[in-house]
Amino acid sequence: MSGRKIIAICQTGGEFVTSNDGTLCYNGGDAHAMDIDEETHFEEFKSEIAEMWNCDINVMSIKYLLPANKRTLISISNDKDLKRMITYHGSSITADIFVLPGEVVAAQGVSNMPASRSSRTTASEAVLPFEQPMDTPIDIAVDKGFPCISFETKHHKATKEWENIITGVNQRFGSAHEFRETLRKYSIAHGFAYVLKKNDPLRVTAKCKSEGCPWRIHASRLSTTPFFCIKKMNPEHTCEGSVVTSGYQATTSWVASIIKDKLRESPNYKPKDIAEDFKRDYGIELKYAQAWRGKEIAREQLQGSYEEAYSQLPLFCEKIMETNPGSFATFTTKDDSSFHCLFVSFHASICGFNQGCRPLLFLDSTPLNSKYQGMLLSATSADGNDDIFPVAFAIVDAETDDNWRWFLIQLRSSVSTSRSITFVADIKKGLRESIADVFENAYHGYCLRYITENFKKVSHEVKRLLITEFYDAAYAPRLDGFLRSMEGIKSISPEAYNWILEIKPEHWANAYFGGARFNHMISNFGESFYTWVSEAHELPITQLVDAVRGRIMELIYTRRVHCNECLTRLTPAMEERLQKETLKAHSLQVLFSPGTTFEVRGDSIYVVDIDRWDCTCKDWQITGLPCSHAIAVFDCIGRSPYDYCSRYFTIESYRLTYLESINPVPNHDKSVENSPQAAVKVTPPPTRRAPGRPKMKRAGSQIVIKRQLQCSKCKCLGHNKTTCKDAL
């Protein structure tokens, strides 16, 4: 025998007993031990057991208990089940096997189903080994030819502790509310419905909802005390006591009290999951609306209300600037005092961008799926290691041209404008005009992704070819490469060619672009920042901002530790890129000249001007790192390529980026009334959830591209095989 070995303790002749906690114990009988492994065949195993106890092999059944679940019996009926049993026991040396000859009447909770995932049963289910009375409800399902019959259970695992929550007359409670909540749990645990005959702060009387059932309870307040006491109780039920599955007993406040702890641990606890958990644990079928409202109440109890958060916004902004001097936190409201815009930029982010980051900003937006909707506008940059560096963000009621302009005005007040900043952003008209108006000498690089989204009404293959050629044209560092790719677009679709040329190439093509975008062509550079927001988008506005602040604070600290450990002159990412270019330089030939201009030969001829930091391949100017041609020149004249790298890629600039820290913002004191901000009133914006399916985000105007004919014989464009001259 080979493989993992386990000792099977085979037992028979005893009986199963169900403990108070629902676990199964096997008492009495005989036991024998035998070795089995993963290569043991089920028929051999079964034959040996039959021979051991001289029983009929055709009628006996073999079962086992899961190591971590003593409430479930699993059947072994084939080789796969036997191997699965060995796997389930992990590192255990032994496994308890129960041999049940014939049709054995199992204890409550014992299953005779095969060991398939869909046919396992729990302690609340049982096999039908004898004739069942007709008034007992049963559920019948067919799985792989086996009838799976389970009885509706009256007691659920989660309600076990509620069965004795009401003990009887003279039991005291802190208030009428506490008594009502206790009564609710008691009825759920015992599976009956009740109606309140009297219900006021002084007395509560309830009776069983079933007609003629004598169960009744009466409690009232003890005089001169706040306590509630049970005065009368008839605990007897004459009704059938079928399980009450409707959710009328579960008020939204009660649902909230049950799920509060789990919601604290799992903020993304969905209403659908809440309803499923209640049905499984309490036997109550909640409607989706009940689960959703219960979640909202629990969330408000844990996090505070959305409305309160808007009212706290003035003091919260004041607290940000107080704890982080030099930061910007400002907001605006509409004429009716409803929220309009909020702008936040921390001092550490401002200093990091001004001192260590490239003058490059990515503008993008992401929706907020909170109660009051809204959009988050963001400005992120790239640090020396080409990682995201958040600079500023804003929460606005809607993404409009006016709100983008307001955001840019606040951004201009925050960051230094002594450098010409390059923006990578959408092509939309509002941004195009606002960037030019708000920031002087700025460059606007269009996001390629937004442009390619307008390739509509073409086949998938044609669109793929268009996007490939368009990206090649945009990334091409030289004019000849750009023109070559544009000719490729023209051969695929003249309409697309003409439309692309209407979008000025100086805003999206490296060959024409005047700013420094360092080969970053897409505005969604800050995807990790949007991930932070998506994880907290359901929080009230002040908590959402504080959650983002906490993530930026952690990021700055982690990066600061990382850059202090670096021993190279450049950041790790740029050091790796420089080494790759150095390897390429070894195969190049340099022709000397008396000045600072050199001729470099490889697959082509390039001219390098080391004083102007220029090469005719244009990679040096675009990326900020010396190209392989320039490095070949430096090797010949004995200079270091590190002296010709952009200063933004050095470890010194990297450390300056993360020099400052973001300080925690403590919870403000609601009793503060001396602050002038306390008198400012802010209310939530009007909820504008559009009916129907949300519209897709569109970028600029749409272009409809007509697909050109392609001959299936000569593969040329402009005709088909019928009119092909070559075929004729």
Q: DSSP letters of 412-479?
A: HHHS--SS--EEEE---HHHHHHHHHHSTT-EEEEPHHHHHTTEESS-HHHHHHHHHHHHHHHH-SSH
pLDDT of residue 133: 37
**Please, are residues 30 and 52 in contact by the beta-carbon 8 Å criterion?**
no
- The region that residue 662 occupies, defined by phi over 0 for left and psi between -120 and 50 for alpha, beta otherwise, is beta
Least confident of 22-26, 234-238, 447-451: 22-26
pLDDT of residue 3: 64
Residue 463 has pLDDT above 50, yes or no: yes
CB atoms within 10 A of CB 56: 9
pLDDT of residue 457: 64
pLDDT of residue 248: 55
pLDDT of residue 49: 82
pLDDT of residue 727: 52
pTM across the whole model: 0.64
- The proportion of the chain whose per-residue pLDDT surpasses 90, expressed as a percent, equals 25
Least confident of 294-298, 301-305, 643-647, 657-661: 301-305
Q: What confidence category does residue 715 fall into, taking pLDDT thresholds of 50, 70 and 90?
A: low
pLDDT of residue 626: 93
Q: What is the mean pLDDT of the chain?
A: 80
Residue 604 has pLDDT above 70, yes or no: yes
Residue 511 has pLDDT above 50, yes or no: yes
Residue 500 has pLDDT above 90, yes or no: no
Over residues 706-727, the mean pLDDT reads 67
pLDDT of residue 153: 44
Q: What confidence category does residue 143 fall into, taking pLDDT thresholds of 50, 70 and 90?
A: very low
Over residues 642-653, the mean pLDDT reads 93
Vertex 37, ends 31 and 43: CA angle to 5°? 70
CB atoms within 10 A of CB 199: 12
Q: What confidence category does residue 125 fall into, taking pLDDT thresholds of 50, 70 and 90?
A: very low
Can you tell me the distance from the alpha carbon of 114 to that of 111, in angstroms, rounded to the nearest whole number?
A: 9
Over residues 96-114, the mean pLDDT reads 52
CATH superfamily of 307-447+523-552: Ribonuclease H-like superfamily/Ribonuclease H (3.30.420.10)
Over residues 154-168, the mean pLDDT reads 71
Q: What confidence category does residue 132 fall into, taking pLDDT thresholds of 50, 70 and 90?
A: very low
Residue 688 has pLDDT above 60, yes or no: no
Name the more confident of 210 and 161: 210
Determine the topology of domain 5-100 in CATH: Ubiquitin-like (UB roll) (3.10.20)
Q: What confidence category does residue 697 fall into, taking pLDDT thresholds of 50, 70 and 90?
A: very low
Q: Where are the domains of the chain?
A: 5-100, 160-302, 307-447+523-552, 450-512, 570-644
Residue 347 has pLDDT above 90, yes or no: yes
Vertex 714, ends 711 and 719: CA angle to 5°? 30
Residue 17 has pLDDT above 70, yes or no: yes
Q: What confidence category does residue 146 fall into, taking pLDDT thresholds of 50, 70 and 90?
A: very low
Residue 291 has pLDDT above 90, yes or no: no
Over residues 32-43, the mean pLDDT reads 84
Cα 562 to Cα 69, 359, 489, 557, distances in angstroms: 46, 23, 45, 9
User: For residue 293, what are its two tokens?
Assistant: 């409202």
Least confident of 200-204, 412-416, 450-454: 450-454
Mind listing the pLDDT tens digit for each residue in 523-544?
A: 777 777 777 777 777 788 888 8
Vertex 460, ends 456 and 465: CA angle to 5°? 90
CB atoms within 10 A of CB 69: 15
Residue 629 has pLDDT above 90, yes or no: yes
Least confident of 540-549, 647-656, 714-723: 714-723
Residue type, 642: Y
Over residues 294-308, the mean pLDDT reads 82
Residue 640 has pLDDT above 80, yes or no: yes
pLDDT of residue 275: 87
SS (H, E, C) 636-698: HHCCCHHHHCCHHHEHHHHHHHCCCCCCCCCCCCCCCCCCHHHHCCCECCCCCCCCCCCCCCC
